Each structure stands twice: as C-alpha cells, then as structure tokens.
C-alpha cells in the first residue's frame, strides 16, 4: 500500500521518484556569460532563484565537484546556454533540469549521470542530435515519439521515456515504441506516466517487467508478453485505462501486487490462448471460475 500511495503522489504532482538531497553552501558567480556554481548536494529551484532572472545572459555553466544533482527545472529555459560542464560527483538530472535550453549543444561530464528524470533533456540541441543515451546495453534516456530503439540494448532503465510524461495532461499525438530483439529487462518505471503511448512492441527476448513499468500509460491499448517473461512487477500495468487486451504466452509467469489492476480483459486473454491451442475449452471454463477471485492467465 505504501508503494502505491507513493506512486499515486508522483503521478498527481509530477515529482521525481528519484529523491535528491538539497545542496549546502551553494555559491555562484556570473562573469562574461559564464555561470560557475559550487556546493555540496543537489541544486534546487530555490538555489536557482539567484540566477534565473539573468538566464538570458548565461551562455556557459560550470558545475563544481561536490554538487550531486541538478534538481527540478534548475536551468530550464536558459535559451542562451550553449555549454555545460558537469563534475564527476553529479549523477542525477532532475525533472526538466535542462529542458528548453534550445542552444545547448555541449554537455561535458554526462557520462557520470546515471539517473535521468522526466524531460530532463527535452528541447535541447544536444538531445536533438543524440536522441538516445545508451551505455553498456542499458537505455538511460530516449527523446521523441514513434521511436525505434537501436539494437544492442538489453535493459530499459527507470523513466527512459520520460520526455513523454509532460504530455499527460495535454492532447499528445499517439505514439508507438519499438524495442529491439535482445532486450531482456524492462525496468521499474521504464514507461511510467507515458500517456501518449498507444503501443509498445515487446520482443520475445524480454524476461522481466519491473514495478510500475507501464504505470498510468493511459492510452496503451494492448500488450503481448512472450513465453520467456517470468515476472511482472507490482502495479506494472496499473491505471492503464485503455488497455483492452493482454496476451500472455508464458506458463511460468508471476504477477506482483495489483500488476494489472482491474483493466485487463482476461476473457479475451484466455480466448486467444484457446485459439492458439495453448488451452483447452475445459481449461478455459475452469480458469474463468478461478479468476473471479484473482487474475490468472492460464
């Protein structure tokens, strides 16, 4: 229950699910368009209040070692910013941390960042040139709609498609995400809050779907899980209000707490398995009775 309440709070407020600790001893200077910031911990919007009214003057940013994260909207809409240097200590970009920095082409030190929150790079010149952040087979961040993820990716990390969350209260164009063969793990929160996604093509190689992986994907209409999937995490498909059919081929699969909520048409799932010869008519009728108390897929 605590995990569900936390996720619902995040959905309503669009706050990051990846917590940060506020920075201490924050100091900054702005000289000839170069903003230099130092401190210990995560920079917050309160810290940014000192330079946001001068954002049009900032052409470069140097963040000193000791700062661990750029919090929500810290450099949002700095439209003159062209270059930012991040220290090895900085491992997280918060929601919309650099979004709207339309001239930002150079991000030095990005290789140290391991946590990318909602829309943290949206609208930058950098992400326009490099729409994927991929390291050692892990997809950290993807930008755009109707995306085909490149081959070689084996894991989708939290909020990898976070740029799509900003459209959840608007009228976003429907989009389709295609994952390549070779992906094995769709991690926690991988597609969470992606309200415009209508379809995700999940390859046969996927074995695990994490907690909240498709949480609040309001436009997702159907999903098919191959026979290698062994686990679906807690609330993985919770509040997928348009989800009409889930086809599950694995006989060795476990579902976490409220993994599918109450939106899945289990009758359609079992009928599909019957049509493919995976179930007999007798088994389907028996399972219908059992599924009145808990969702079953075979």
Mean pLDDT across 272-297:
62
- For residue 51, what is the enclosing H or E element? helix 45-52
Q: What is the pLDDT of residues 209-229, one digit of tens each?
A: 999 999 988 889 888 898 899
**Cα(15)–Cα(6) distance, integer angstroms:** 10
Band of residue 139 on the pLDDT scale cut at 50, 70, 90: very high
Q: What is the mean pLDDT of the chain?
A: 82
Percent of the chain with pLDDT strictly greater than 70: 80
Shortest CA distance to 193 belongs to which of 156, 143, 158? 158
Length of the chain: 298
Shortest CA distance to 127 belongs to which of 116, 142, 110? 142
- Contact between residue 272 and residue 250 where contact means Cβ atoms under 8 Å apart: no
What are the backbone angles phi and psi of residue 221, rounded to the nearest 5°? -100, -35
The whole-model pTM stands at: 0.76
Angle at 294 between CA 293 and CA 298, to 5 degrees: 120
Q: What is the pLDDT of residues 47-60, one digit of tens each?
A: 888 888 888 999 99
- Report CA-CA distances (Å) from 274 to 95, 111, 137, 281, 297: 45, 49, 37, 7, 11
Query: Would you say residue 16 has pLDDT above 50?
Result: no
Residue 257: CB atoms within 10 A of its CB come to 13
Burial class (CB in 10 A: 0-12, 13-18, 19+), 13: exposed
What is the predicted pLDDT for the residue at 60?
98
Query: Would you say residue 239 has pLDDT above 90?
Result: no
Query: Would you say residue 39 has pLDDT above 60?
Result: yes
**Cα(74)–Cα(298) distance, integer angstroms:** 49
What is the predicted pLDDT for the residue at 162?
78
What is the predicted pLDDT for the residue at 263?
45
Mean pLDDT across 50-77:
93
H-only helix segments in 110-265: 125-129
- The most confident of the ranges 237-241, 264-268, 286-290 is 237-241
What is the predicted pLDDT for the residue at 267?
65
- Which residue did the predictor score with more confidence, 280 or 65? 65
């Amino acid at each position: 229950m605590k995990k569900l309440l936390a996720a619902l709070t995040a959905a309503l407020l669009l706050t990051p699910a990846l917590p940060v600790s506020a920075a201490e001893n924050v100091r900054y200077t702005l000289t000839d368009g170069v903003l230099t910031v130092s401190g210990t911990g995560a920079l917050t919007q309160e810290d940014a209040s000192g330079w946001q009214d001068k954002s049009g003057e900032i052409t470069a940013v140097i963040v000193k070692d000791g700062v661990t994260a750029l919090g929500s909207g810290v450099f949002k809409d700095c439209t003159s910013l062209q270059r930012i240097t991040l220290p090895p200590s900085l491992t997280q970009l918060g929601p919309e941390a650099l979004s709207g920095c339309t001239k930002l082409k150079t991000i030095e030190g990005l290789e140290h960042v391991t946590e990318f929150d909602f829309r943290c790079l949206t609208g930058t010149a950098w992400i326009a040139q490099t729409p994927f952040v991929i390291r050692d087979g892990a997809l950290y961040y993807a930008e755009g709609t109707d995306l085909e993820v490149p081959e070689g990716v084996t894991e989708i990390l939290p909020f990898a498609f976070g740029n799509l969350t900003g459209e959840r209260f608007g009228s976003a164009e429907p989009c389709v995400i295609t994952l390549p063969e070779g992906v094995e793990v769709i991690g926690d929160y991988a597609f969470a809050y992606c309200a415009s996604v209508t379809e995700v093509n999940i390859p046969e190689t996927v074995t695990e779907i994490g907690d909240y992986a498709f949480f609040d994907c309001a436009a997702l209409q159907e999903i098919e899980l191959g026979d290698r999937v062994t686990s679906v995490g807690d609330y993985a498909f919770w509040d997928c209000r348009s989800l009409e059919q889930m086809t599950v081929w694995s006989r060795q699969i476990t579902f976490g707490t409220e993994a599918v909520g109450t939106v899945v048409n289990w009758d359609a799932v079992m009928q599909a398995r019957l049509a493919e010869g995976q179930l007999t008519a007798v088994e389907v009728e028996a399972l219908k009775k059992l599924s009145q108390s808990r969702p079953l897929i075979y």
